[in-house]
Amino acid sequence: MNELKLSNLLTPKNILLDVKEKDKDALLAKIIKTFSEVNNIADPEALAREVTEREALGNTGIGRGIGFPHAKSSQVEEISVLLARPARPIEYGALDGLPVNLVILIIAPDSGDNNQYLHAMARISRLLGKSEVREKLAQVKTPQEAIDTIAAFEN
Amino acid sequence: MKPKTILLYVDSSKESEAALKAALDFSGPQVTIIAVNVVNRQTVIQLARGGSKSIAEAEVELEENGWCYLYNTEEIAKSAGAQIVILQESGYPEEVLPRLAQGYGADLIIVGQPAGHGKDVGQSGLAQQLIEHAACAVLVVK
pLDDT digits (tens, 9 = 90+) for A5-47: 999 999 999 999 999 999 999 999 999 999 999 999 999 999 9
Q: Could you give the percent of chain B with pLDDT greater than 90? A: 63
Does residue B115 register a pLDDT over 70?
no
Residue among A20, A23, A49 at smallest CA distance from A107: A49
Q: Does B38 lie at the interface with A, CB-CB under 8 angstroms?
A: no
* Mean pLDDT for the stretch of residues B33-50: 90
Say how far apart CA A27 and CA A46 lie, in whole Å. 17
In this prediction, residue A2 carries a pLDDT of 58
Q: Does residue A35 contact residue A107 with C-beta atoms inside 8 Å?
A: yes
In this prediction, residue B119 carries a pLDDT of 46
DSSP state of B115: T
Give the pairing type, strands A80-86 and B83-91. unpaired
Q: Kindly state whether residue A139 falls inside one of the protein's structural domains.
A: yes
Per-residue pLDDT reduced to its tens digit, A53-78? 888 888 999 999 999 999 999 999 99
The CATH number of whichever domain residue A83 belongs to comes to 3.40.930.10
Say how far apart CA A103 and CA B132 lie, in whole Å. 39
Does residue B118 register a pLDDT over 70?
no
- CB-based contacts of B46, cutoff 8 Å, min separation 6: none
Beta carbons within 10 angstroms of residue A15's beta carbon: 24
Q: Is the dihedral of CA A152, A33, A114, B47 positive or negative?
A: positive
Among the residue ranges A23-32, B25-34, B42-51, B60-69, the one predicted with the least confidence is B42-51
Say how far apart CA B96 and CA B40 lie, in whole Å. 10
Least Cα separation, residue A119 to chain B (angstroms):
6
In this prediction, residue B106 carries a pLDDT of 96
DSSP state of B48: H
At CA A29, angle to CA A23 and CA A30, rounded to 5?
A: 90
- Domain total of chain A: 1
Is the backbone of residue B37 left (phi > 0), alpha (psi -120 to 50) or beta? beta
Say how far apart CA A35 and CA A15 lie, in whole Å. 9
Residue among A138, A120, A131, A6 at smallest CA distance from A63: A131
What superfamily would CATH give domain B5-141? HUPs (3.40.50.620)
Q: Which of A54, A95, A122 lies closest to B78 in CB terms?
A: A54
Least Cα separation, residue A81 to chain B (angstroms):
17
* Mean pLDDT for the stretch of residues B76-100: 94
**Domain map of chain B by residue range?**
5-141
- Residue A71 CA neighbour count, 13 Å, CB half: 22
Question: Does the structure's ipTM exceed the value 0.90?
Answer: no
**Band of the pLDDT at B123, cuts 50, 70, 90?**
low
Contacts 24+ apart (CB under 8 A), A135-140: A137/A85, A137/A102, A138/A85, A138/A101, A140/A17
| Terminal-residue alpha carbon distance, chain B | 22
Residue among B3, B129, B18, B135 at smallest CA distance from B73: B18
Among the residue ranges A1-5, B69-73, B80-84, B134-138, the one predicted with the least confidence is A1-5
In this prediction, residue B52 carries a pLDDT of 76
At CA A97, angle to CA A134 and CA B74, rounded to 5?
A: 80
Q: Kindly state whether residue A146 falls inside one of the protein's structural domains.
A: yes
Domain that holds residue A135: 6-154
Task: Scan residues 80-119 of A and list those with Cβ closer than 8 Å to B.
Answer: 95-96, 114, 118-119
Q: Could you tell me the pTM of the whole model? A: 0.88
Per-residue pLDDT reduced to its tens digit, A108-148? 999 878 888 999 999 999 999 999 999 999 999 999 999 99
Q: Kindly state whether residue A120 falls inside one of the protein's structural domains.
A: yes
Q: Does A58 lie at the interface with B, CB-CB under 8 angstroms?
A: yes
Q: Does residue A77 contact residue A43 with C-beta atoms inside 8 Å?
A: no
Q: Kindly state whether residue A1 falls inside one of the protein's structural domains.
A: no
Q: Kindly state whether residue A18 falls inside one of the protein's structural domains.
A: yes
In this prediction, residue B57 carries a pLDDT of 87
